[in-house]
Amino acid sequence: MPELALVVGLGNPGDRYVGTRHNVGFEVLDALVRRLAADPARPARIDRLDCRALTGRVKIGETPVLLAKPQTYMNLSGESVKGLLVKHAVPRERMLVVSDDVALPVGRLRIRPSGSSGGQKGLQSIIDCLGADDFPRLRMGIAGPRFRPGEDLADYVLERFSKVERGPLSSAVDVACEAIETFVAEGIDAAMNRFNRAPETVPAS
């Protein structure tokens, strides 16, 4: 039996945050569940509370995967993630964390095997709780064409995507689902080689 993988999507719980930039990690996991559930042989749901996260067990190929959406709010995500890693005995290198990244434009994604949080509060919480930053992450670009460095991030990340941004975002979410499947089946190097490229982005207005 292949080793269990853990895929974590970061976001904030509650209807008020649905569709916001900060919740793109949740959005990717929801899309992955829909993708997997299209095959009747692979039922998929994220509806079980475990270590303060909504979780679901799926299979990608022959590999068992635990999907998790921490319900702690973004800044405390690490508490939930650490609990899941310990409880389910998942090595850090078999965990992929999906988060938003204001340093990337909408439509871009980037996969890395380790590194700093880049100021993303959920990633920083995970790093702080684990005492390590050597875990893979998939960063989803959320910077729209009108975003300017130095803008108040606290307000910006809680905004919803515009209609113009939704096209490139939807394409990036689909690519992210493929990247997750590649990470699970083939590993981080294969995922980086295949998906660290520049897809469609939102043109400047």
Catalytic residue among 6, 20, 22, 102: 22
* Three-class secondary structure of residue 98 per DSSP: strand
Q: Structurally, how many domains does the chain consist of?
A: 1
Per-residue pLDDT tens digits for 42-69? 778 999 999 999 999 999 999 999 999 9
CB atoms within 10 A of CB 150: 6
Domain membership of residue 177 (yes or no) is yes
Residue 134 tokens read as: 């050597």
> What is the CATH classification number for the domain harbouring 72?
3.40.50.1470
Domain holding 156, by residue range, is 5-195
| pTM recorded for the entire structure | 0.94
Annotated catalytic residue 22: yes
- 99 within some domain: yes
Note whether residue 203 is domain-resident. Answer: no
Give the angle subtended at the CA of 195 by the CAs of 19 and 198, to the nearest 5°. 75
* Three-class SS state of 168: helix
Q: Give yes or no for a contact between 192 and 67, defined as CB atoms under 8 angstroms apart.
A: no
**Cα(32)–Cα(1) distance, integer angstroms:** 22
> 203 is written with which tokens?
């043109």
CA distance 14 to 184: 29
pLDDT in tens, 166-192: 999 999 999 999 999 999 999 999 999
Per-residue pLDDT tens digits for 135-151: 999 999 999 988 887 77
Is residue 31 assigned to a domain? yes
